[in-house]
Amino acid sequence: MISEKSGKENTVNLFWTGGWDSTFRLMQIIFEEKRKVQPYYIIDLSRSSWEIEIKTMNDIKSLLVSDYPKKSELMEPVMIFNKNDISIDEEVSEAWKSIRNKRHIGNQYIWLASFIKKTGIKNMEMSIVNSDDCESNSPSLIAYLQDERITSAEKAIFKYFSLPVKNLTKSDMYEITKSRNWLEILKNTWFCHHPLPHPFKMGVPCGVCNPCRVAVEEGFGHKIPVLNRVAGKWVKAVWNSNLLKKLR
């Protein structure tokens, strides 16, 4: 799926975090669609991963400049904003609360949608993917955004985004990535929200946060140190236990 043209002709606006999903979409845009891309990144200072995410994006851009100089020219400089500077929109916030009363939904969608609404950016792409079978057996976010299921609350938030990879799972992306020879680029992506200290790196995946658990469930656990991966599974299981839920 190709998004509609933005204000800058033939340029795709893309939320990019240096993660697998958004980097995969970036590869599609510059390699297959041969279009310019304007990446946007919003710093969330409550997540200790933001410095690693910025470094990851810089590293990926450097790799593209080195190995694919012509393709790298299709990337505009990343536009960076601070989450704390975003004025939360009341309609968006109320819609999020309505959804949250029924099921889990990340609070990032409040400020991302508010950002788009306030700035008036057209056709901003967000790389939300479908879900492989996972431990939780709970429906993926995409399942709730299908035409036959979507509610007014979901529409109030997600009408601000284009979702070009919503029909793909991470496994689908992996197979496409292999066939297009993008693995050398995609293997540099980052996903953990709360990295742990490491003597020789900026940090290593914690194994506990939601992105880490999703990575394990969808076959990407090899990027998490074994000890963190195993410990994270048990910590998450205890945290989600009925007993602890009653105590919280």
* For residue 136, pLDDT beyond 60: no
205-225 per-position pLDDT tens digit: 999 888 888 888 777 778 888
Q: What is the mean pLDDT of the chain?
A: 87
* For residue 6, pLDDT beyond 90: no
The separation between CA 127 and the C-alpha centre of its own chain, rounded to angstroms, equals 6
Edge-to-edge strands of the sheet including 36-43?
79-82, 36-43, 11-15, 124-125, 161-162
pLDDT at 159: 96
| Element (DSSP H or E) covering residue 11 | strand 11-15
pLDDT band at 1 (very low <50, low <70, confident <90, very high): very low
pLDDT at 147: 85
As a whole number, mean pLDDT of residues 10-32 equals 96
pLDDT at 192: 92
The pTM for the full model equals 0.85
pLDDT at 134: 47
The crossing angle, in degrees rounded to 10, of helices 226-239 and 210-217 is 110
pLDDT at 118: 96
| Element (DSSP H or E) covering residue 49 | none
As a whole number, mean pLDDT of residues 157-178 equals 94
pLDDT at 189: 95
pLDDT at 213: 83
As a whole number, mean pLDDT of residues 106-126 equals 95
* For residue 3, pLDDT beyond 70: no
Residue of 160, 100, 165, 108 whose CA lies nearest to 131: 165
Within 13 Å and on the Cβ side, how many CA atoms surround 4? Answer: 8
Residue 2 bridge partners (DSSP): none
pLDDT at 93: 98
pLDDT at 59: 97
